[in-house]
Amino acid sequence: MPLLVKICGLSTPETLETALEAGADMVGFVFFPPSPRHLSLEAGRALGRQVKRRALKVALTVDADDATLDNIMDTLSPDILQLHGKETVARLRDIKQRFGRPVMKAVPVATSADLAVLPGYAAIADRILFDARAPKEATRPGGLGAPFDWHLLERLDLGLPYMVSGGLDAGNVAEALRVTGAGGVDVSSGVESAIGVKDPEMIKAFIRAARASQDTSQELSAR
């Protein structure tokens, strides 16, 4: 299957356009006030219109209530809801039923014990996103530029698509894909020149590196 590349935390028309022109499959918009990448609903509406179906629009929320999700649906009309908080399996089910969108559940990983939640989430979610577990003192659950031990996902048989995030950049994305066997990658801080400031050249370099790793993998498997 083709590799999915997601650029998350986009907040300006210029960097969004760069991601779209460079071939991002998913573009992520953050609706979580503590994040430096948080968007107002008005900004989300404008950026959503800019996408024009050139990529899947992903709305990232953290333990959002129904009213917040209603507003996001009205303004962005996302293709996917990314739940990056402590949402329970029951909450995932409720969100899918109420909003009628595919759900991608973020699972924080530090040790193999963190994978124990997978059967419950995998029964409801349409996709899993593995991210590095944030330190206890962190004010947000992701976008911190920290990787986790990718070997924890080796030989993972999940039964549904999954992506990897956390500390990825153009220099290590190929290795992350090789180790995890993930069908997609998600980057935010790894394409920033400063916290919350996306860099167009870094975006393009990341997408090139991810695509090149897939091409190499396909060549090797064809031999």
Nearest 10 degrees: Cα torsion 123, 129, 133, 138: -110
CA distance 109 to 13: 32
**Residue found under tokens 């919350």:** 196
Write down the catalytic residue from 8, 25, 79, 157: 8
**Residue found under tokens 């210029």:** 14
Per the annotation, the verdict on 8 as an active-site residue is yes
H-state helical runs in 52-181: 66-76, 89-99, 118-122, 173-180
**Residue found under tokens 């899993």:** 128
> What is the tally of helices (H) and strands (E) in the chain?
7, 10
Tell me how far apart the terminal alpha carbons of the chain are, to the nearest angstrom: 18
Per the annotation, the verdict on 131 as an active-site residue is yes
Write down the catalytic residue from 131, 186, 199, 215: 131
CA distance 91 to 120: 12
Give catalytic residues, as residue numbers.
8, 131
